[in-house]
Structure 1
């Protein structure tokens, strides 16, 4: 019969009356239906890796310390309070006893159902049991309660127990067990405890008040010295004489659990929290929210592009231990004109998205990857969706950059110490709560923190304060939120629909421009975002002077020479300015281009160790006479050729610093065109995602796992039809080839186990229980119950097939 847990007005309803009480968790699982087993595997995905052979193995795995700790981490605050109450009760307690300790609140049946579904509680509601591992993890003081009287007084001698009975005004008992029981019965009686404490000195009540809600222990000298009521000289001795406090060592006392529960009014927790705290919503204009988020999203894409364009000409070195140096982070922040924390965010996003990586050379440096070129060619909205999607799911926490780890070492950007497995869950939880509010509503960080603390008090305890504020800041910088409220594109992002998020953002972004405004002071103003081709040409021919609503580019000799070095000609630059400027091209800019172009390439530098070649002998003579070039140790080899003591790249750099515009040439005399944006790493895969959680199993996997577990469990209690006492028959099953095939086809269609006789390659005759999973090409693919593994059996080696009788059929 299938048993299920239902909720009614009075509480959940479980095993029907008259049903046998399971003796173990495995028996309890065996009494559950397939849907309930599927719920267990879905709630605890670690149980499916690998799939258990049968229900006994499933029960064993469900009680391991690691698995129980993992599922406890995912319980909310109220359900953990119910766990505390269940741990306080002895095994075999009924639902009413649990309700008395927790309180008759509407949420209690649901919490009990959650615990039973996850196999932390088992048995019928009339006789519930807590998994022993849960008790172990709860520790010695669950909910701040001390040990029960049998444990607290277990080492007390019989004579001393009789003295305690006498001082409490109770009759003597024949043995220690009954004495402890009598004391426990007294402590459970509220009226009797109230009358007893009415005789206590005022200071004794104050001592109990300090211990009643935990911690239940206190320090007292000579606590283990026997004291009679008549000889008590202090409030603590008065309590010790009556077992209201029990010695826990030579200098420690403890408040017994039974007395603490009575003093607490029969409740385990002082403050019950059956529902999450309320979140105060602040309404915002949804259009203003989306506009602010779109502006931030556009800025985020520009920041990433500026950073990677900067590193395209040669990125910083990779530290020996991995990561980016502190000075290099400061330089990146200064180049972007942002704080170091914000620069760390863009760097970590680039790394997590696979846009930047180490080049793998001996002197390893950080460089953009080929994936960056693909990303840069896509529309801005799609680029943003990629970054935002990576941020939502990555385990890397940029806010940790600059802090110190457990070994008091600094945490570097792009380094190995930035991963936190709880980060994606925290981001989803925070943004999910914002998404549940009315559209355009913001919420205080304190309210969101309290809500997160209620839903995952154990899972995110250490990272809550570190992650909540930083997550909200990062979401605002990235454009997932605007003015503290979740934007429409952010809502789509939470569902994993990156294309939909990009489509919602696209209309809100500024239209890329194909023109600039050239000015007489050798600057160009881009009044908005530029199309990719124009932006790349301007990055080549000018330096960015300032960013903001408009970007200001400054032209200079170095920038014009950079464009000429990359293969552009003066005519190309004049054409670029004339085509894309909405203002007339200023004469100073024309003169600058012509002047640099006239001098550009007159000197040629090649490899001798290096030589200089120039058709104008006067230029070479001027260079020989220049004292600033003395370090190059130039000497004339021919009227138009000089030799230099240095590598070609060093000579090029030195001559450019002297105001010349040399060009490099190859060994064949061809001009070497340098492209500053050509530095890329080899193809790189995305960095691994650090996670301590198994992936969520699919519905098909869960269904298959339930089928396999059921089959394995049936095999454990099955026997071939006609066998005695569950033993296999003395002879192998014998059927004809046609009968064998028909029997296997029927078993495959019904997914039921059968006995087969099988002869191995070595000629050894064996018997096995299998569930056929496929029949094709003269082979049967089946799962063997004893090992829980898949095997392929040639049909010609199967001697016959016999039906299986199930001794204890599983519920349907």
Structure 2
């Protein structure tokens, strides 16, 4: 038995009892009346509503009104949208648009409630549309409603002052007052007595909201009373009073212009404050985003070149950092992280300040180049990924670092500070993640990208703009600090140059590959140096890897920059000899890679150190020293610095020591000698250390700042699922014809197997849709709207409007079926 699949009406037009011409009575009805694009906009702005996808519109509305979700939505409003919500929180509920407009922009045509036009009136539709899009406000312009949770969060309360500076209403402030006292206030205000407190409070509120009568009442007030009101009018609305208040305060209190909040505190009622303010909810509104002009303009080519120089220096610094941890990396603290001493030592090695050293350490960690080795004596060491990274072209290496930096949540600027428990935060420690960091970092770069090419911004202007865009979060100094750190880090890393966004930085921001733009700006690696008579060598550019590695062993880096200066010392030459190279190897290397002749002082230095290198031999006794020159051994024995080695003479050319061979080697070298270790056979042992690597480690995953923003495919699927679920939940069923059937709104239908089979067969013949209750193999019950097309073999196949696909259901798992009303067929 087969039939064609019927076409149901579009979901947006068959979704409940509210029609387009009737005002919505709830947030759910307002959401149900939206089109699919508007629902997708809501879900995109508030992705937390999708975890999991709501089953229908009612669930969506309920979830949108929860405290956690509303707080997150308020946190992401700009300042004027938030001020609009704050004004609605102190306005009547519901609030007509003209009333909201006067609260924010003042009355038209001047007067006490007028405000100089700052754009509030023109920007209000945009702010209101933002609140509506995010389901924080619903209803038409005649009946604007702020969702209840948002009103509770933003409305003035004794323990939570409102940003508007307003206090409670007369009704709220008199809720605990005795009826006798209320009648006394009403009488003192010149109002007729009433028969109950409710009507008395209503009369008092009516007086305070009537401009003419209120002005007449205030005209009678003493001058000092106006001064008291002036101190409270813009907030905070609470003031302390003595048990025997002054006459002006007593006059105001007797007439309800000040109401008691506690035994020693009075509050200015909201209606009185609004009259004194001329109906304005805020002293100042900020409808327009602060401008971020270009503070300085540079030639784009100069910016790119400057940034490229910083990028090249960043590569050298990260490589030097990671290689310095190859052989004896710093230990991991018991609580995790790097000790203060090791951070200082690393800063000295890199020749940078400690905060900058922390930045490079965290960047290498974020890029997956450093990690803990996980051994019993846990230490930090390079990862295998570092070996792959160093083989990449320079521009691609920088791209890997920049792509790790931009989304990173670890905040190196916090290193050295203390957490809430008084513990010092350490580099690579567990408590450095701040989920807001990537958003702030990206927003700072976006604001720089909006400037003309080569333009840099005043940091204070950037901070003012960020504070306007996220005012709730901006109340915390962390957001401003994150922005300042982002500017500093972008400059050090080479994303910006002279404060302006470089071309490769713009590509990074736009999710394009920055390497093609950066590669032409890097100088070609060179394979030569300039040797000078003062025992230094100048590398005029970045050295090729093989040349740079040998030179790093043979000489010490003295200064960095556009050209790197190396210095040859007896210690550095001995280091090269210890690594297994001979004097002839060193002479040949320098002759091959120097474009200037090898200076005589350098040649003499190499030969002199080589002549003395290995003259002393150290072995295991615990350890021993042997030397053909007994005079040198006599000199060592006479040196006070050898006392800690525990030396004693075994023979004219042999000394025994209590120290281990390694400690003996270090001790003799510190005394200015050049000993060499030897094996049991008497051969020189090359003391080159093996580079340590961690097991394979993945880069740390940034801590997300809430759920990820859904893409268009997920949004479309979610909207379809919500519409379909809403159809199943709200579709009107026909009254069951059989006495055994029972359809209760919101519950699964119950029909007998025979009635179920007959109903789905009839639906398949007529091409109509039915509403079913179904229990799957796991025992989970659900409601579906299906259009049967085939019924055979104990199964019904049909188009499931809830799932938006053709499905097959076992008839014995259908708990019941109901036909839909004609309007849904």
- Please tell me the TM-score bracket, short chain as reference: 0.7 to 0.9
Partner of 1:216: 237
Seen in structure 2, the aligned counterparts of structure 1 residues 405 and 792 have a Cα distance that, compared at 3 Å, is farther
Shift of 1:679: 2.5
Q: Determine if contact 1:121/1:128 at 8 Å carries over to the other structure.
A: yes
Say whether 1:275 aligns with 2:285.
no
The equivalences for 1:17-166 within 5 A come to 19-103=21-105, 105-138=121-154, 139-140=156-157, 141-142=161-162, 143-166=164-187
1:712 to 725, 749, 767: 725
Asked if 1:573 corresponds to 2:586, the answer is yes
CA shift digits 1:93-145 (9 cap, x unpaired):
22232222222612211211211111111233332322211122115143111
User: Which position in structure 2 is the counterpart of 1:729?
Assistant: 751
Corresponding residue of 1:555: 568
Q: In 1, are the aligned partners of 2:613 and 2:675 still within 8 Å (CA)?
A: yes
Counterpart position of 1:200: 221
Partner of 1:427: 441
Structure 1 range deviating more: 447-456 or 426-435: 426-435
Contact 1:734 1:757 (8 Å CA) reproduced: no
1:766–1:266 Cα change, 3 Å: closer
Identify the residue that residue 536 of structure 1 maps to in structure 2.
549
Cα 1:391–1:640 shift into 2, 3 Å: same
Q: 1:564 to 1:734 in 2, by over 3 A?
A: farther
Measure, in 2, the Cα distance between the counterparts of 1:503 and 1:201: 77
Equivalent position SS for 1:506: helix
Distance apart, 1:208 and its partner CA: 0.9
The one of 699, 702, 706 aligned to 1:693: 706
Q: Does structure 1 conserve the Cα–Cα contact (< 8 Å) formed by 2:800 and 2:807? A: no
Q: Answer with 792-801 or 444-453: which moved more.
A: 792-801
Distance in 1, Cα, partners of 2:396 & 2:795 = 49
Aligned-residue offset at 1:464: 3.2
User: Considering only aligned residues, what root-mean-square deviation do their CA atoms show, in Å?
Assistant: 4.1
User: Is 1:405 aligned to 2:419, yes or no?
Assistant: yes
CA–CA distance in 1 between the matches of 2:303 and 2:598?
40
Alpha-carbon separation, structure 1, partners of 2:32 and 2:51: 20
CA distance in 2, matches of 1:420, 1:256: 41
The answer as to whether partners of 2:535 and 2:602 remain within 8 angstroms in 1 is yes
| Residue 468 of structure 1: how far off its partner (Å) | 2.9
Deviations 1:650-695 (Å, cap 9, x if unpaired)?
Answer: 2333343455545446678886544447133222222242234111
Q: 2:628 aligns with which of 618, 621, 637?
A: 618
Of residues 476, 485, 491, the one that matches 2:506 is 491
Unaligned runs of 5+ in 2: 1-8, 106-119, 744-748
Q: How many pairs are equivalent?
A: 774
Alignment of 1:193-342 (within 5 A): 193-222=214-243, 234-282=247-295, 283-342=297-356
Q: Distance in 1 between matches of 2:19 and 2:248?
A: 51
Q: For 1:728 and 1:302, how far apart are their aligned partners in 2? A: 74
CA distance in 2, matches of 1:482, 1:313: 35
**Structure 2 match to 1:11:** none
Cα distance 1:809–1:475, how it changes in 2: closer, same or farther (>3 A)?
farther
Deviates more, 1:187-196 or 1:673-682: 673-682
Deviations 1:528-582 (A, max 9, x none): 2212221111111111122233222122332223223333333332222111101
Q: CA 1:792 to 1:327, structure 2 compared with 1: closer, same or farther past 3 Å?
A: farther
Q: Name the CA distance, whole Å, in 2 between partners of 1:290 and 1:180.
A: 69
| Deviation of 1:235 (Å) | 0.9
**Displacement of 1:782:** 12
Post-superposition Cα deviations, 1:753-783, rounded to whole Å, max 9, x if no partner, equal 874877959xx999963879xx9xx999999
CA deviation after TM superposition for structure 1 residue 253, in Å: 0.6
SS in 1 for 2:260: strand
CA spacing shift, 1:710–1:753, aligned 2, 3 Å: farther
Q: In 2, distance between residues paired with 1:610 and 1:442?
A: 64
**1:792 positional shift:** 13
Contact 1:733 1:757 in 2 (8 A): no
> 1-side partners of 2:658 and 2:665: how far apart?
12
Partner Cα distance (1:782, 1:331) in 2: 72
Contact 1:53 1:785 in 2 (8 A): no
Q: Corresponding residue for 2:110?
A: none
Match of residue 505 from structure 1: 518
- Are the structure 2 counterparts of residues 759 and 553 from structure 1 closer, same or farther at C-alpha, using a change threshold of 3 Å? closer
> 1:296, 1:423 → 2: CA distance?
22
The answer to whether residue 392 in structure 2 is matched with residue 378 in structure 1 is yes
Of the three residues 426, 443, 448, the one matched with 2:462 is 448
Where structure 1 has 5 or more consecutive residues not aligned to the other structure, the ranges are: 5-14, 226-232
**Cα separation, partners in 2 of 1:739 and 1:154, compared to 1, 3 Å:** closer
Shift of 1:17: 8.8
Give 3-state SS (helix, strand or coil) of 2:61's partner.
Answer: helix
Answer whether contact 1:293 1:476 (CA < 8 A) is retained: yes
Give SS of 1:518's match.
strand
Instruction: Check the 8 A contact 1:719/1:728 in 2, yes or no.
Output: no
Measure the CA separation in 1 of the matches of 2:824 and 2:313.
61
Cα distance in 2 for residues equivalent to 1:640 and 1:765 = 90
Shift of 1:76: 0.2
**Equivalent position SS for 2:406:** helix
Q: In the TM superposition, what is the alpha-carbon distance from 1:45 to its structure 2 partner?
A: 0.8
SS in 1 for 2:128: helix
Output the CA distance in 2 between the equivalents of 1:792 and 1:661: 84
CA distances 1:196-241 after superposition (whole Å, capped 9, x unpaired): 2222111111111111111111111238x9xxxxxxx611111111
Say if 2:372 and 2:381, in contact at 8 Å, map to a contact too: yes
Alignment correspondent of 1:472:
487
8 A contact 1:718–1:804 mirrored in 2: no
Distance 1:707 1:218, change over 3 A: same
State the 1:273 CA deviation: 1.0
Give 1:717 shift: 3.4
* Secondary structure in structure 2 of the residue aligned to 1:385: helix
Normalised by the size of structure 2, how large is the TM-score?
0.84
Alignment of 1:515-526 (within 5 A): 515-526=528-539
User: Do 2:473 and 2:479's aligned partners in 1 also have CA atoms closer than 8 Å?
Assistant: no
Report whether the alignment pairs 1:355 with 2:369: yes
Q: Which residue matches 2:112?
A: none
Q: Which one of 496, 503, 511 corresponds to residue 481 of structure 1?
A: 496
Contact 1:720 1:729 in 2 (8 A): no
1:620–1:706 CA distance, 2 compared to 1 (3 A): farther
CA contact (8 A) 1:759 1:797 kept: no
| 1:118–1:768 distance in 2 versus 1, CA, 3 Å | closer
The separation in 2 between residues aligned to 1:502 and 1:808, in whole angstroms, is: 63
Shift of 1:456: 0.6
